[in-house]
């Protein structure tokens, strides 16, 4: 049973999903990725979600991006929507963040499968203290990398 189910609106969204699966794998979290369109295969979306025991869902879609809402309508578990960049970025963003009352979807930035995975990890970390500790360490590592970058830039511009 995957802890995180990643649902893509189309095969073309796979590079964004890869960002998410890479982060989840780094933290030892199981995931599964499927393709199901909210518009072309709405019954499949409902079937996939209703048959899943995942703790968190990540729904990745571009254009009108109805998929995160369709997933959220089929579960009471957390759903994270990832808008995919394209010709009309604002449409996919607004489709995810402007959900009607009662069917919430968390949203991350355009193409930010990595942030969707990190948010899923934070949610899972509420029940798994070891995971929460790994997330704290991850943030410390990022802060140390910024400090190293700062020192390197200072040395380069002062030379």
Query: Which among 19, 63, 4 has a CA at the least distance from the CA of 37?
Result: 63
One domain, residues 97 and 159: no
CA–CA distance, 148 with 65 (Å, rounded to integer): 39
In total, how many domains does the chain have?
2
One domain, residues 119 and 156: no
One domain, residues 76 and 147: no
| Residue keyed to tokens 């489709």 | 95
**Residues in CB range of 98: below 8 A, 6 or more apart:** none
Structural domain boundaries enclosing 96: 4-127
One domain, residues 31 and 86: yes
Backbone angles phi, psi at 108, to 5 degrees: -120, 175
One domain, residues 92 and 53: yes
Cβ atoms within 10 Å, residue 87: 7
Q: pTM surpassing 0.85? A: yes
One domain, residues 120 and 133: no
One domain, residues 134 and 154: yes
CB 24 within 8 A of CB 121: yes
pLDDT number for residue 31? 98
One domain, residues 122 and 141: no
One domain, residues 93 and 134: no
- The tens place of each residue's pLDDT in the chain, 159 residues long, gives 789 999 999 999 999 999 999 999 999 999 999 999 999 999 999 999 999 999 999 999 999 899 999 999 999 999 999 999 988 789 999 999 999 999 999 999 999 999 999 999 999 999 998 999 999 999 999 999 999 999 999 999 998
One domain, residues 20 and 95: yes
pLDDT number for residue 81? 98
Query: Which among 47, 100, 95 has a CA at the least distance from the CA of 71?
Result: 47
CATH of the domain at 56: 3.40.50.1970
Summarised one tens digit per residue, pLDDT across range 85-113 is 988 789 999 999 999 999 999 999 999 99
One domain, residues 91 and 149: no
One domain, residues 42 and 115: yes
């Amino acid at each position: 049973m995957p802890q995180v189910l990643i649902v893509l609106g189309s095969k073309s969204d796979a590079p964004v999903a890869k960002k998410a699966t890479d982060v989840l794998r780094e933290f030892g979290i199981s995931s599964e990725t499927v393709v199901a369109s909210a518009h072309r295969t709405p019954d499949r979306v409902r079937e996939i979600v209703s048959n899943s025991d995942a703790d968190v869902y990540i729904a990745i879609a571009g254009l009108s991006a109805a998929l995160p809402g369709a997933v959220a309508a089929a579960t009471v578990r957390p759903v994270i929507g990832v808008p995919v960049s394209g010709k009309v970025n604002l449409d996919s963003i607004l489709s995810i963040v402007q959900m009607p009352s009662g069917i919430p979807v968390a949203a991350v930035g355009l193409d930010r499968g990595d942030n969707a995975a990190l948010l899923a990890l934070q949610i899972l970390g509420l029940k798994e203290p070891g995971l929460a500790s790994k997330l704290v360490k991850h943030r410390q590592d990022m802060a140390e990398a910024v400090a190293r970058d700062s020192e390197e830039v200072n040395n380069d511009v002062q030379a």
